Amino acid sequence: MQVESNIDILTPWWMDWFHGGLNFHLVHHLYPRMPRHNFRQATAFVRKLCEAHNLHYDSCEWSTAIPILGGSFTACPTFLSLGNFLEPFIQFNDQMDRNGNEATSPSHDWKSSKQGKKLIGIDGYWYDITNFIPYHPGGKVIEQFVGKDASAVFHGFHRQSVLRHRKPYARMNETSVENSRVSQAFAHLGQYFEKEGYFVTDYYWYAKKFLVTFLMICCVVYIVTNYPTSDRVYLGAVALAAFWQQCGFFMHDFEHNQFSQNRHIDKWLGTFFGTFCFGISGSWWRDEHFIHHALTTCVDHDIGFADPQMMEAVVWAQNEKLWPFYQNRLSYFLIRIQHITFLPLCVFMGRLAIIKASMVQERRLIEWAAFGLHWVWICVLLSYLPTWKHVFIFYGIASTIQGVLHIQLLISHYAKDYHHVKNVSKDVNWAQMQVESNIDIITPLWLDWFHGGLNFHLVHHLYPRMPRHNYRKATEYVRKVCHEYNLHYDHCGWFEAVKRTLSQLKRMSEHFSLDPNS
């Protein structure tokens, strides 16, 4: 009824004063408690809901305003959900006055989270996220920071502008580990990177990467179509593995919003390069990867939580904090030989395992459509090969070589310490947790392409929005901060990292027990 009864007046923002905010008449009628200075931003959400449910959102210029009736209102539950989402815009919190200054009422601390409110701390203020959690683009990992100072992890994933329309719930009066000298040093370094343009994408650099990757798949097609019966066709399998690997790195960049800095554009590109080209669900990977970044190598036995990208293989337990998750005889046997099976399983089964994991858990139709198209072009390519033997050998070679990527990603963490979720941003600051959880791989400049920039793993975990072409020079600053504050900046060569990983797996295999109290 409200949608059918209201017309919004299109005006530039500087004319809002003339209309007293009532140029946004629909949002005012739907949520009359909302202060008018939030009408313009809230209207964008209302407009999207109208479009999603085929409701006519009526708007026109002031001089030509004519009532137009039509459509039917069938989306009340959706607008009620939006009302919950917009609650922070609606209410003037009793802890803050209209200018955002601290009011004189009693201060709130993290215990308010147990009194019906879920609060996270950012830059000295508590923010109420109770109704926002289901809408958080990064998923429910945000709940793991309820009652904590989440300033460091927030700035790692977001620009400051994200908060410009959200009002604090109260001022933080508690001492926070995120105010430590170490945490502030990394925060100031992030501000320096922002100021110096380290978060700005070099599109010429990406254009060259796109061109090289496109040439890789062209080589695959040329070799397969021209030499299908020759042994030279297997060079095409090598090129296909390289293509998959580079598409995996592109997916990683885009799902971190490193390319366009537009979440929707980068998400579509992530699906294209990840699901369609690489063959695993980009959206599934992003959901798990955000948790991995926010709580790297962390566990919480009380709720059965562990860093999902450090526990994907049920046959490995690289740290004693993971032992409670493996309590059966099969796990006992497999973990006893994990230092032997690690490399073969990564190389020979890594691709098939991650494809299976991503699609078993994926529910989004667009991802399944892209996944189907991936297998269409793969099947068309393989159809040029003369026999099933050629098909299996070709795909096997490509999958095996691409399996090296799984070793690349795991050796940066498997030999490092684990933390308990409850201690992160409470007893140990988030930046220090990242320093203690990452290993950088020493490589020459010309090998950065092979690692997709992730040889500089620490700087990526500290500042995940930074495009990878800036990792090498940014790492020098990170190293200096670590040295200044006596933090161990862990780095070694690729083969040394593999050796350390295998040694850690062997050490854990020798001590693993099915007794959770041992």
State the Cα–Cα distance between residues 383 and 377, nearest whole angstrom: 10
For residue range 221-273, list pLDDT tens digits in order: 999 999 999 999 999 999 999 999 999 999 999 999 999 988 899 999 999 99
**Once rounded to an integer, what is the mean pLDDT over residues 276-288?**
94
Nearest to 220 by CA among 241, 199, 192, 206: 241
Contacts of 131 (CB under 8 A, 6+ apart): 84, 85, 87, 88
Q: Would you tell me how many other CB atoms lie within 10 Å of the CB of residue 52?
A: 10
What the block records as the tokens of 368 is 């399944």
pLDDT of residue 247: 97
pLDDT, position 71: 36
Alpha carbon distance 383, 513 (integer Å)? 49
What is the predicted pLDDT for the residue at 115? 60
Number of structural domains, the chain? 3
Q: Give every CB contact of residue 182 below 8 A, 6+ residues apart in sequence.
A: 429, 431, 432, 485, 487
Give the mean pLDDT of the chain: 86
pLDDT (0 to 100) of residue 248: 96
| Contact (Cβ atoms closer than 8 angstroms) between residue 508 and residue 321 | no
pLDDT of residue 74: 39
Confidence band for 342, pLDDT divided at 50, 70 and 90? very high
- Co-location of 459 and 505 in the same domain: yes
- 144 and 265, same domain (yes or no): no
**CATH code assigned at 172:** 3.10.120.10
**174: containing domain:** 119-179
Poorest-pLDDT segment among 131-135, 250-254, 280-284, 429-433: 131-135
Same domain as 356, residue 504: yes
Give me the pLDDT at residue 83, please: 56
In a domain, 361, yes or no: yes
Measuring CA to CA, how many Å separate 426 from each of 14, 147, 177, 308, 421? 44, 9, 6, 22, 9
pLDDT in tens, 379-411: 999 999 999 999 999 999 999 999 998 898 899
Distances (CA, A) of 171 to 115, 118, 125, 343: 17, 15, 4, 51
Residues 169 and 187 in one domain: no
Helices (H), 11-91: 16-19, 25-30, 39-52, 76-85, 87-90
Does residue 194 share a domain with residue 143? no
**Residue 102 falls inside a structural domain:** no
**Residue 483: pLDDT band by 50, 70, 90 thresholds?**
very high
Within a domain: 458: yes
Residue 99 lies in a domain: no
Residues 139 and 152 in one domain: yes
195 and 173, same structural domain? no
Position 150: which residue type? A
* 441 pLDDT higher than 90: yes
Interatomic CA distance for residues 18 and 494, integer angstroms: 65
The pLDDT value recorded for residue 313 is 60
Whole-number CA gyration radius for the chain = 26
Q: Is the domain of 8 the same as that of 144?
A: no
- Measure Cα distances from 502 to 337, 478, 505, 509 in Å: 11, 27, 5, 10
Q: Tell me the pTM.
A: 0.76
**Residue 137: pLDDT above 60?**
yes
> Averaged over 93-103, what is the pLDDT?
39
User: Are residue 270 and residue 346 in the same domain, yes or no?
Assistant: yes
Residues 6+ apart with CB under 8 A from 295: 141, 144, 305, 307, 421, 424
Handedness of CA 197, 246, 475, 296 (dihedral sign): positive
When pLDDT is cut at 50, 70 and 90, the band that residue 55 belongs to is confident
Q: Is residue 377 part of a domain?
A: yes
User: Residue type at 468?
Assistant: R
Residue type, 154: F
* Helix, strand and coil in the chain, % to nearest 5: 60, 5, 35
Residue 81 in contact with residue 97, Cβ under 8 Å? no
Same-domain pairing of 132 and 206: no
- Residue pointed to by tokens 């297998």: 375
Q: Which of 139, 154, 179 represents a domain boundary (last residue)? A: 179
Domain boundary (155, 179, 203) is at 179
- Please, which pLDDT band fits residue 375 given cuts at 50, 70 and 90? very high
